[in-house]
Amino acid sequence: MTPKPLDYESLNENVKKVAYAVRGELYFRASELQKEGKKIIFTDVGNPHALGQKPLSFPRQVVALCQAPFLLDDPNVGLLFPADAIARARHYLSMTSGGLGAYSDSRGIPGVRKEVADFIERRDGYPSDPELIFLTDGASKGVMQMLNTIIRDEKDGILVPVPQYPLYSAAISLCGGSLVPYYLEEEANWGLDFYNIHQSVAAAHSKGITVRAMVIINPGNPTGQCLSEANIRELLKFCFQENLVLLADEVYQQNIYQDERPFVSARKILFDMGPPISKEVQLVSFHTVSKGYWGECGQRGGYFEMTNLPSQTVDEIYKVASVSLSPNVPGQIFLGLMVNPPKAGDISYLKLVQESKAVLESLRRRAHIMTDGFNSCRNVVCNFTEGAMYSFPQIRLPLKAIEAARKAGKAPDVFYCLKLLEATGIATVPGSGFGQKEGVFHLRTTILPAEEDMPAIMTSFRKFNDEFMEQYEDYRGYSRM
Amino acid sequence: MRRFATDERCFSSDLGHSAHLVSSSGAAASSAMGSTQSPPLTFDSINPKVLKCEYAVRGEIVSHAQRLQQELQTKPGSYPFDEILYCNIGNPQSLGQQPVTFFREVLALCDHPSILDKSEAHALFSSDAIARARQILDLIPGRATGAYSHSQGIKGLRDAIAAGIAARDGFPANADDIFLTDGASPAVHMMMQLLIRSEKDGILCPIPQYPLYSASIALHGGSLVPYYLDEAAGWGLEISVVKKQLEDARSKGIAVRAIVVINPGNPTGQVLAEGNQREIVQFCKKEGLVLLADEVYQENIYVENKKFNSFKKIARSMGYGEKDLSLVSFQSVSKGYYGECGKRGGYMEITGFSADVREQIYKLASVNLCSNISGQILASLVMNTPKVGDESYESFTAEKNGILSSLARRAKALEDAFNSLEGVTCNKAEGAMYLFPRLHLPQKAIEAANAVNAAPDAFYARRLLDATGIVVVPGSGFGQVPGTWHFRCTILPQENKIPAIIARLKAFHESFLGEFRD
């Protein structure tokens, strides 16, 4: 009998190279401990509903009605569903060619794409073309698709911020391309460092890499920083000069916790800058229903919008989308509802606004509680979470701890995070999963645990951290601050 | 687990080592850089594998049909038909098939769990749907259907699916072997990604095949190794043919890694005989091939003398266990009698893989976090339907049997209709949702097609569309023995439309032959 083809050695190397720490070692260990009965606080994934955030009522009502259209004709339906939800369900059903159960257009239901285009126009003040908006099963699928379209071989490089959300590194690995990192400046609030960006590109060129695209995550993940208009202008100029596609991950655009830098889309700035940039720079923007104050991760709803891509390229992207037939229809409806929510005067408007505000205001408070909490801990420094859903504190690990980690065969931040998990049940993701400068360690946690649980969580963390530092501190020095 | 793996791939991680700054854009701030190079994302500069990939089911003829449809709306009466009939795609509910009530009740309740606690719910939903929704929600941490789940899918739902598989096959199934995906297609892509290292890796595919396979192989840079099904033998699979193709490929330096078997077949509709299945299993074991068993049409069987046997069941009944055969079985909520295409629900069951390979499969699944929860719930419902004694059992069974018997009648009606056409032969659709008639076209028609640079079956299909509004997919989209022509037509239009469709088809075909008679 011949050896099996799917032996580990004979797997696609690109698959083996992939690392996705968000569901990696810490998550496994946390799941094991949970099975053993330990109480785990999962702060490892941006998964609001898993930590008690309630779904908004209106979208759930609408989608439930779309699932069971026979309810619409039932005389009792008004007992459980408000009239505007009923009307909206009819509206979405009429946009489909067979309700939720039929494959839609491979790009998504045209009516929903129009709603997205209208939303973009209201948000930015520039018209948007529904034909250039493709709905996907979550933003991640869209990112994968775009990177697969761009990357031809390992000589194609993609500029990615470090620290980054590891979907990018994973997708680039899978597509067989090269990740060209640009380091964000922790001391400057995770700001952009154009000197570093130019250096990275130059170094890539000197190795025969063609840099094709640049990823920006705004607000940042895991870092949370919000880009200013000036930042985005500089980035667009850079992409114009270097001939790069700008991939703008804007999934956290609703999650803003400071007022100095409200969200502004890359597309708006692109058009503000006028020609040649507004006509030449190729841009793909990503959004989702998983984040914001909706947090509907499990629906897998998202879209990407293409700007300045030639129509032949758009056709090819459409062709590949058609192989997967269509994005899931309920997810598309969630997206439609997110970009086109009830308006003032609608029956459900006040409740939706109330629910939304409550979530956002609480997130803002939790962003502060967590940042302040970390900053009050020994050897921990934490930039404020300006946006998104995460806190990314730097842990200044004593050399003894680093040595102990090495002895245990673990990266130092993995070692720390595992100990934190075992001691407190708090599941985080080590900074190495996102990338960081050599010798500097972080962990990523979310600001999603319920507000009333936050103080206890921070106390628990502080206690662990104090004990850890006590155990491993001596006066030989620390990891770089 | 590995740390940030891109350290291996990143080229500027050693900061500060370069003595001078080589800035490629230093002095070029105001130069019109964009005009000296073509922009990054042009047709010429995108991934060539994307260019190579084709998917005829939603290809050119469909785009043309959509244009016609728009014209019909703006200028009604401009064509000799008043609607476009999409017979190109297995999308039952877009052609009027009703969803299964019980499934939709449960899904609606899971989407909006707060109504479960209201007494009014009983006025709107059957009590077993309410009970099932509660049971399902109890399996979901925090009853949060909006949260990302475990990357293989919610454990309790996988348990239910494993139980359903075991009840179907009479052999145990393991929840850890199941990966819930957004439809079966993403699971197929995952396996191709894993299996294909370069164009030297080949995947055996039936010809004709469902073009997801050819598209996925192209996207992942592999080679499709065709094995022809025998039209004269009811689209039978001849193992000696497969063996020859395998050896042929190997002699050309191709490492053949897996074989795709679609059972029931698409577009061909044949249901494999047990003996055939045993031969295939034995062949895979002997040749060290992964068996990729596309079983999404397992509930669509229309003939008395055949039944569905999963490849897992066949393998286990032959005494083959995990050590003997690497098997991936795909199932979906899109087909069967439920036809829930738009939900994107499905799974693959993987058996016979080592732990380190399974870890890689898990890792791939985790990058996308998880599949949509509603689809996961639906997959568990499909594999665990109402039982005798449940409130919904009778109505559920009536709906199911109604749909399946209607499909069987439509399959027969269309098969007979195609066979009644001059120069057309059509094998029976034993299962699935399609007919794949063969066109014996007159030479004149073939020449006319060549003159406009069209494949003869594409030429025929286009003429058919323009004359009748009926959209079918040319056989070239699926592969066929060179020099033979076919098209794939679904059996899905509503039963009351079938007579009119048949009439229009007949009229068109007669007129076409009249035009091109030798």
The predicted model gives A417-426 an average pLDDT of: 97
pLDDT tens, residue by residue, B230-285:
999 999 999 999 999 999 999 999 999 999 999 999 999 999 999 999 999 999 99
> What pTM, to 2 d.p., does this model score?
0.93
User: How far is the alpha carbon of B157 from chain A, nearest alpha carbon, in Å?
Assistant: 15
| pLDDT tens profile B396-444 | 999 999 999 999 999 999 999 999 999 999 999 999 999 999 999 999 9
Work out the minimum CA distance from A430 to partner chain B, whole angstroms.
9
Using DSSP, state whether B61 is helix, strand or coil: helix
Over residues A263-282, the pLDDT tens digits come to: 999 999 999 999 999 999 99
CATH architecture of B147-383: 3-Layer(aba) Sandwich (3.40)
Does any domain span residue A48? yes
Query: Distance between CA atoms of A22 and A432, rounded to whole angstroms?
Result: 11
- The answer to whether the Cβ–Cβ distance between A100 and B216 falls below 8 Å is no
User: Which residues does chain B have within 8 Å of residue A25's beta carbon, measured at their own beta carbons?
Assistant: 1
Closest residue in B to A411 (Cα) is: B3
Question: Are residues A377 and A247 part of one domain?
Answer: no
Q: How far apart are CA B233 and CA B211, in angstroms?
A: 22
pLDDT in tens, B218-233: 999 999 999 999 999 9
- A478 located within any domain: no
Among A363, A361, A400, A382, residue whose Cα is nearest residue A462: A382
Q: How many domains does chain A have?
A: 2
CA distance B420 to chain A (A): 32
Mean pLDDT for A36-59 is 94
CATH code of residue A390:
3.90.1150.10
Residue A331, min C-alpha distance to chain B (Å): 8
Which candidate from A103, A195, A324 shows the least CB-CB separation from B89?
A103
Q: Does residue B28 register a pLDDT over 60? A: no
* Contacts (Cβ under 8 Å, ≥6 apart) of A459: none
In terms of C-beta density within 10 A (0-12 exposed, 13-18 middle, 19 or more buried), how is residue A475 classed?
Answer: exposed
| Domain-ending residue, one of A283, A312, A339 | A339
Same domain, A167 and A270: yes
Distance from CA of A365 to the nearest CA of B (A): 22
A31 lies in which domain range?
Answer: 8-52+353-472
Asked if pLDDT for residue A139 goes beyond 80, the answer is yes
Average pLDDT over residues A60-64: 98
In a domain, A315, yes or no: yes
Q: Per-residue pLDDT tens for A204-238?
A: 999 999 999 999 999 999 999 999 999 999 999 99
Interface check for B199 against chain A (CB to CB < 8 A): the answer is no
CB spacing of B15 vs A183 below 8 angstroms: yes
Q: Does B483 touch chain A (CB under 8 A)?
A: no
Please tell me the distance from the alpha carbon of residue A433 to that of residue A89, in angstroms, as a whole number: 41
* ω into A262 cis (within 30 of 0): no
Which residues of chain A have a CB within 8 Å of the CB of B105?
68
Q: Give the 3-state secondary structure of residue A256.
A: strand
Q: Are residues A41 and A176 in the same domain?
A: no
Nearest chain B residue to A302 by CA: give it: B372
Q: What is the ipTM of this complex?
A: 0.94
**Testing the interface with A: which of B23, B283, B372 to mutate, by most A Cβ within 10 A?**
B372
Size of interface A-B (CB pairs under 8 A): 410
Same domain for A101 and A250:
yes
Confidence label for A3 from pLDDT (cuts 50, 70 and 90): low
**Chain B residues touching residue A180 (CB < 8 angstroms):** 10-12
Does A232 lie in the same domain as A131? yes
- Residues A361, A326 within the same domain: no
The predicted pLDDT at position B395 comes to 97
CATH number for the domain harbouring residue A195: 3.40.640.10
DSSP state for residue B118 in the 8-state scheme: S
What percent of chain A lies above the pLDDT cut of 70?
98
**Average pLDDT of every residue of chain A:** 95
pLDDT tens for A432-454 read 999 999 999 999 999 999 999 99
Same domain, A421 and A304: no
Superfamily of domain B50-96+395-516: Aspartate Aminotransferase, domain 1 (3.90.1150.10)
Q: What band does A18 get if pLDDT is binned at 50, 70 and 90?
A: confident
Cα B405 to Cα B398: distance, rounded to the nearest angstrom: 10
> Is residue A89, in this structure, part of any structural domain at all?
no
Query: Domain spans of chain B?
Result: 50-96+395-516, 147-383
In a domain, A443, yes or no: yes
Strands A283-288 vs A133-136: parallel, antiparallel or unpaired: unpaired
What pLDDT digit, counting tens, does each position of B285-343 carry? 999 999 999 999 999 999 999 999 999 999 999 999 999 999 999 999 999 999 999 99
- Contact of B141 with chain A, judged by CB distance below 8 Å, is answered with yes
- The mean per-residue pLDDT over the stretch B85-114 comes to 96
What integer is the mean pLDDT of A132-136?
98
Query: Using CA atoms, how far apart are residues B47 and A371, in angstroms rounded to an integer?
Result: 43
| B132 and chain A in contact, CB less than 8 A | no
CA gap A21, A39 in Å, rounded:
21
Is there a domain that residue A198 lies in? yes
Verify that A252 and A376 share a domain, yes or no.
Answer: no
Q: Two tokens at A146?
A: 């775009």
Give the sheet arrangement for strand A443-446, strand by strand.
A390-391, A443-446, A429-430
**CA atoms of A385 and A80, how far apart (whole Å):** 39
Interface touch B339/A438, C-beta < 8 Å: no
Q: Chain A: give the shortest CA distance to residue B72, in Å.
A: 16
User: In terms of C-beta density within 10 A (0-12 exposed, 13-18 middle, 19 or more buried), how is residue A330 classed?
Assistant: buried
The answer on pLDDT for A165 being more than 70 is yes
Q: Are residues A396 and A444 in the same domain?
A: yes
- Chain B hits for A14, Cβ within 8 Å: 193
For residue A348, being part of any structural domain is answered with: no
Nearest beta carbon to residue B342 from set A74, A104, A320 = A104
**Where is pLDDT greater, at B39 or A363?**
A363
State which H helix or E strand residue A210 sits in. Answer: strand A210-217
What percentage of chain A carries pLDDT values higher than 90? 90
Question: Distance of CA B446 to CAs A121, A159, B59, B516, B517, Å?
Answer: 51, 52, 21, 9, 11
Q: Which residue of A has its CA nearest to B115?
A: A80
Q: Is A329 found in the same domain as A240?
A: yes
